[in-house]
């Protein structure tokens, strides 16, 4: 892996300024761009380390604070290690903020993030990839569906509520997606029951989307997040192998 440089950047959006983290290889050469969407805990040191790992593999990575309407990161007071037993207290603060980021707002923000990434001199010309975690998996789908000419590949890991009965369910974006997709589902995830997994895959298949969806046996929601008690090292390394394989095929 190459050396990595990380920088704080501000991204103008239609509704304000999103603070963000940019990671790229230290040689300064243009590299394929990757937009990384956060989980519900937000932009924090662990997500920056994930961006650094991707940058070390040869990509220019942007991680926006999608909760910027509620303040700059960290939006929430988080412990260094997030124990799921503390989630009831944390979710008193996180829940309303999460619910306020509607699909409409997320789709409105996405062009600013894509433009900020593509306009960087460290980003190679052409479409970018998107990856997302937890709620970020839904944001990746909305972005790939709304801006198919800008997104060449999209991935999502331990995403919840991907295929609900709601009129704005993420799986309904499938008909507009031209990117190749990879989704790694958590086996022990009440936010994504089997019927939603099946509905999600069926929607992608019916729309002719190139995709691969896998269920990570025994993994819990949040299995990629090493600063939480839901972390699963084996499942996390599987996620990295799948993500890097998708990016290699794309770029």
The pLDDT tens digits of the residues spanning 33-46 come to 999 999 999 999 99
What architecture is domain 4-250?
3-Layer(aba) Sandwich (3.40)
Between CA 89 and CA 1 the distance in angstroms is 39
**pLDDT above 90: percentage of residues in the chain:** 96
Give the three-class secondary structure for 5.
strand
The per-residue b/e assignment along 217-244, b for 16 or more CB within 10 angstroms, e otherwise, is eebbbbbbbebbebbbeebbebbeebbe
Give the model confidence (pLDDT) of 203-222 as tens digits: 999 999 999 999 999 999 99
- Write out the DSSP string of 28-96: ---B-EEEEE--TT-S-HHHHHHHHHHHHTT-EEEEE-TTGGG-SSP-S---SSB-GGGHHHHHHHHHH
Give the three-class secondary structure for 238.
helix
CB 247 within 8 A of CB 129: yes
Question: Which band of pLDDT confidence, cut at 50, 70 and 90, is reported for residue 88?
Answer: confident
Residue 2 clears pLDDT 90, i.e. is over it: no
Between CA 242 and CA 244 the distance in angstroms is 6
Q: Go through the chain and tell me how many residues it has.
A: 251
Average pLDDT score, the chain: 97
Give the model confidence (pLDDT) of 92-146 as tens digits: 999 999 999 999 999 999 999 999 999 999 999 999 999 999 999 999 999 999 9
Confidence (pLDDT) at 90: 87
Q: Tokens 């990295």, residue?
A: 240
Between CA 187 and CA 194 the distance in angstroms is 9
Confidence (pLDDT) at 42: 97
Confidence (pLDDT) at 1: 64
Give the model confidence (pLDDT) of 138-173 as tens digits: 999 999 999 999 999 999 999 999 999 999 999 999
Residue 239 clears pLDDT 70, i.e. is over it: yes
Between CA 98 and CA 79 the distance in angstroms is 19
Q: Specify the pTM.
A: 0.97
**Residue 227 corresponds to which tokens in the numbers above?**
């600063």
Confidence (pLDDT) at 151: 98
């Amino acid at each position: 892996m190459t050396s990595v440089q990380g920088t704080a950047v501000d991204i103008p959006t239609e509704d304000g300024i999103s603070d963000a983290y940019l990671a790229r290889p230290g040689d300064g050469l243009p590299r394929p761009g990757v937009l990384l969407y956060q989980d519900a805990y937000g932009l924090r040191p662990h997500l920056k380390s994930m961006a650094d790992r991707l940058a070390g593999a040869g990509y220019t990575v942007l991680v926006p604070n999608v909760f910027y309407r509620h303040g700059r990161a960290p939006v929430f007071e988080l412990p260094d290690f997030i124990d799921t037993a503390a989630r009831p207290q944390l979710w008193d603060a996180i829940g309303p903020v999460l619910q306020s980021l509607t699909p409409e707002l997320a789709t409105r923000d996405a062009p600013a993030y894509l433009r900020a990434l593509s306009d960087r001199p460290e980003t190679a010309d052409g479409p970018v990839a998107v990856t997302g975690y937890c709620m970020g998996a839904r944001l990746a789908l909305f972005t790939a569906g709304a801006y198919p000419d800008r997104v060449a590949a999209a991935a999502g890991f331990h995403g919840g509520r991907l295929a609900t009965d709601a009129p704005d369910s993420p799986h309904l974006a499938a008909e507009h997606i031209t990117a190749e997709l990879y989704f790694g589902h958590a086996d022990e995830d009440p936010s994504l029951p089997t019927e939603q997994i099946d509905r999600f895959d069926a929607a992608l298949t019916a729309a002719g989307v190139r995709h691969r969806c896998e269920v990570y046996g025994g993994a819990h929601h949040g299995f990629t997040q090493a600063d939480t008690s839901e972390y699963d090292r084996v499942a996390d390394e599987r996620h990295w192998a799948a993500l890097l394989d998708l990016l290699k095929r794309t770029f």
